[in-house]
A and B are shown apart, each in its own frame.
Chain A
């Protein structure tokens, strides 16, 4: 398993634990939750769908999808690292900025959230571009 895949999968597991805990707090009580917990709901969903499921898929796909011909059979690994850091940087900024914006709108959130959105989008687009040519008939290894 390449190093960047291990980073993706271990970060996914951390997000699973964190997202599960936040979801347990913020999603379990239907109506009577305090505003501070309600503000965590979008974060809980995104830790589980982006941080856990999507990131786990990224790690396993980079590891196991068919190889391409050439010196870099999995594609440019620097792009995979760029995807890893931008995606997780975006998630981290969102984890701070989103509850902050929901509870007490500040100018800081006006900077953090657009930045978080841009980083997450960049992480996804980089990964899509990296993976697209590997969705192919035959692995170059065989």
Chain B
């Protein structure tokens, strides 16, 4: 498993744990009210969807999609996507506490850019593998 895939997967596991913690606080609060629990809804959703599910799928895709020999080519696009998506996630997750509109706007833009960068990286790798299968 290459270094960048390990970064993607470890980040996704971290966001799963953090996002589930926030979700657990919200669910706990539905039974025994906790002040401010609902503030965590948007960060919870962002962490478990963009953080956990998306980063995990991108990490596994980076790892297992067909290569050119040992070379993955245009790795900088996948690395750029990793940086953009993580920065976006923190902006969106912290937005409710920053009490401003710009974190969501910038975060949304970075998410779109990160997705585009990863798609450009992965597109040529969706091909016949070296083994012809």
Contacts and interface: CB of A to CB of B under 8 A. Distances in A.
Interface of A: 49, 53-54, 57, 66, 94, 97-98, 101-102, 109-114, 116-118, 120-121, 124-125, 128, 131-132, 135-138
Contacts of A120: 20, 23-24, 27
A57 B56 contact: yes
Contacts, number: 71
Interface residues of B, number: 25
Among B14, B28, B30, B31, the most chain A Cβ lie within 10 Å of the Cβ of: B31
A85 B89 CA distance: 30
Nearest to A57: B56
B53 interface: yes
A131 B13 contact: yes
Nearest to A110: B31
Contacts of B9: 135
Interface in B1-41: 1-3, 6, 9-10, 13-14, 16-17, 20-21, 23-25, 27-28, 30-32
B52 interface: yes
B88 interface: no
Contacts of B31: 97, 101, 109-114, 117
B130 to A, nearest CB: 18
B78 interface: no
Given A113-B28, A128-B17, A132-B13, 18 more contacts: A66-B1, A97-B31, A101-B30, A110-B31, A110-B32, A113-B27, A114-B27, A114-B28, A117-B31, A118-B24, A120-B24, A121-B20, A124-B16, A125-B17, A128-B16, A136-B1, A137-B2, A137-B6
